[in-house]
Amino acid sequence: MLDFRDRSPAKKANDDFSGRRKFLSFLMLVFMSVLVVRAIYLQVITKDFLIHQGDMRQVDDVSVSAYRGVVVDREGEPLAISTPVESIWINPKELRFAKEEQLKVMEKLLSLPIGKVTEWIKEDPHRQFLYISRRVNPQIAGRVKELKLTGVYTEREFKRFYPTGGVSAHLVGFTDVDDVGQAGLERGYEKMLKGTAGSKRVIRDGQRRIIEDIENIKEPVPGKTLELSIDQRIQYLAYKELQIAVNDNKAKSGALVVLDAKNGEVLAAVNQPSFNPNTRNNLKESLYRNRGFTEVFEPGSTVKPFVVAAALDGGYVTPNSIFVTNGTYAVGHNTVKDTHNYGTMDTTRVITKSSNIGVTMMSLKMPPKYLYDIYHQLGFGVSAGSGFPGEASGVMKDYKKWHDFDRATMSFGYGLNASALQLARAYTALADDGVLHSVSLIKREEDDDTVRVFSAKTAKTVRKMMETVLTKDGTAIEAVVPGYSAAGKTGTAKKATAHGYTEKSYFAVFAGMAPVENPRLIIAVMIDEPSAGKYYGGLVAAPVFSRVMAGALRILEIAPDKEETMPVLLTQRQQ
């Protein structure tokens, strides 16, 4: 039989190619089958496991806190610094298996109520993150770590520390648990102090714990140092003396401001009662309010030197002008009174005896707008511009609404109000030969924002008049500064209520400067509601001025300009 099949080489090659194609197709089918099986295995059988494993490894970008800037006094002494601390957080889902005794030990270390952590766990046992203590001392955090509790973790943060405690608390302020300024200069200079946070890329596990740093994305930029004009030595002295005065006089509160008479720097600013910014708990706003900057009062007779200066500068009176008084003086349907009948007196004696009638007569000689402009130039009714948050502007009635009795009361410090800072600033116009200074809480050499209010001759004349206030014949013998000449003015203002002025509550005030010929310092003292028996500014506020001024001048190494003499104490004082 004949075989007609093609046995040619071409036919044999085609058969070989067909076989290989089938083999490759088979392999591809196998591979595809494996992939399908694998996909089913991953997407169906091990789905939950893989999701969990994915959650266990997450790449994340996290913020890196910047070191908060330091606040220092003019000599570089720290007033506020940040220190590394640890914050403790828990994963309740993990910690629920911990032994009760271990939890009690941790609670005791962190000063938490016994059973508190267990309570938090039971509230939401599936929660995976909860802070239980913020800004913990690293040593205590270390002891917590030694417990090796599963579900307890630490996180590094910064805590603000105030080395001077309550001495500078009202001025510097404080930060919250997240290191954000909440009061005082910490709040006012928040942008400058907080710096710029950095960032880094990390790997987290399923409990959001950082288990590995991958790379730094941006380095944090530390906050800038804030250098204040405050001299911490004078600050401490003022704090101590004001505290003694407020306590001894059973007063409601007190404020004191010390200014450099040459450039307007605030060298000290203290308040009583104070608080410790390092240990504050449930702190009331009324306690940390800086009264010297944010609260106002009627300054009483401390404004009389300005009325005298205005009258002298405007040519309405001379140093030798005579004022005839008899203890009362009718102004329209109202009556102005002095505490005594001083009879006939010259301009200097009006200041010496603090005569309401004398300054009323001067005030009525001047056009209302003229006196108003002087007060306005001195800074009454406008912010002092120190940059302190919440700084008060005070209130002063527009001169167009003044009646004659308004002009009278304005001349002895009623009908307008001011803060202790504003009062101290106004006194720079008398201390620096008629030039009013701006005020600054930041250290500076010169004041580039001055305004001339009085002539140099008038300012010097009024300073000499004010020097007589600190004599046996004046109202503030207890303001005498041993070793130094000093000038100032007392103020005793009745407090206003909803029903008018009360006869039981007063502001005791004193403002002054030293040395007289070339004043270096200005101090304003206000004590609110002294209730131990004395309430005149010359008896309550003047002694504080004396002690703080004497100490501050010596701290600054200002040479004494007169013999030290012990002041003669009087049994009675006028306002």
**Which amino acids are annotated catalytic?**
301
Question: Do 144 and 270 share a structural domain?
Answer: no
**Residue 368 domain flag:** yes
Question: Do 167 and 189 share a structural domain?
Answer: yes
Q: For residue 452, what are the contacts with CB-CB under 8 A and spacing of at least 6?
A: 434, 435, 436
The b/e string for 472-498 (b: 16+ C-beta within 10 A; e otherwise) is eebbbbbbbbbbbbbbbbbbbbbbeee
Question: Do 218 and 244 share a structural domain?
Answer: no
For residue 450, the number of C-alpha atoms closer than 13 Å in the C-beta half-sphere is 18
Question: Do 240 and 268 share a structural domain?
Answer: yes
Q: Where are the beta strands (DSSP E) in 42-193?
A: 58-64, 71-72, 78-90, 130-136, 152-161, 174-175, 181-183
The pLDDT score that the predictor gives to residue 17 is: 58
Question: Do 276 and 152 share a structural domain?
Answer: no
Instruction: Residue 187: give its domain's CATH number.
Output: 3.90.1310.10
Question: Do 307 and 206 share a structural domain?
Answer: no
Question: For residue range 478-504, what is the model confidence (pLDDT) as tens digits?
Answer: 999 999 999 999 999 999 887 788 888
462-471, 506-515, 516-525, 566-575: which has the minimum mean pLDDT? 566-575
The pLDDT score that the predictor gives to residue 1 is: 47
3-state SS, residue 523: strand
The pLDDT score that the predictor gives to residue 485 is: 97
**Residue 164 domain flag:** yes
Domain that holds residue 138: 62-119+131-227
Instruction: Residue 511: give its domain's CATH number.
Output: 3.40.710.10
Residue type, 127: R
Question: For residue range 140-175, what is the model confidence (pLDDT) as tens digits?
Answer: 878 888 888 877 877 777 889 999 999 999 999 999
Question: Do 273 and 184 share a structural domain?
Answer: no
**Residue 15 domain flag:** no
Cα 411-416-419 angle, rounded to 5 deg = 115
Mean residue pLDDT of the chain comes to 87
The DSSP output letter for 327 is S
How is residue 154 written in tokens?
């630490």
Per-residue HEC secondary structure of 201-242 comes to: EEEECCCCCEEEEEEEEECCECCCCEEECCCHHHHHHHHHHH
**With contact defined as beta carbons under 8 Å apart, do 253 and 417 qualify?**
no
The pLDDT score that the predictor gives to residue 127 is: 72
State the Cα–Cα distance between residues 39 and 44, nearest whole angstrom.
8
**Residue 285 domain flag:** no
Question: For residue range 234-285, what is the model confidence (pLDDT) as tens digits?
Answer: 999 999 999 999 999 999 999 999 999 999 999 999 999 999 998 877 678 8
The b/e string for 348-383 (b: 16+ C-beta within 10 A; e otherwise) is bbbbbbbbbbbbbbbbbbbebebbbebbebbbbbeb
**Residue 57 domain flag:** no
User: Which residues are registered as beta bridge partners of 3?
Assistant: none
Question: For residue range 423-436, what is the model confidence (pLDDT) as tens digits?
Answer: 999 999 999 999 99
Domain end residue (candidates: 227, 245, 260): 227
Question: Do 247 and 222 share a structural domain?
Answer: no
**Residue 38 domain flag:** no
Question: Do 243 and 188 share a structural domain?
Answer: no
State the Cα–Cα distance between residues 421 and 439, nearest whole angstrom.
9
For residue 442, the number of C-alpha atoms closer than 13 Å in the C-beta half-sphere is 10
State the Cα–Cα distance between residues 160 and 182, nearest whole angstrom.
12
State the Cα–Cα distance between residues 480 and 471, nearest whole angstrom.
8
Residue 235: burial class (beta carbons within 10 Å; 0-12, 13-18, 19+): buried
Question: Do 219 and 112 share a structural domain?
Answer: yes
- The number of folded domains in the chain is 2
State the Cα–Cα distance between residues 309 and 324, nearest whole angstrom.
20
pTM, rounded to two decimals: 0.81
**Residue 223 domain flag:** yes
Question: Do 298 and 215 share a structural domain?
Answer: no
**Residue 269 domain flag:** yes
In this predicted model, which residue has the larger pLDDT, 451 or 288? Answer: 451
**With contact defined as beta carbons under 8 Å apart, do 478 and 486 qualify?**
no
**pLDDT at 34 > cutoff 80:** no
Question: Do 210 and 244 share a structural domain?
Answer: no
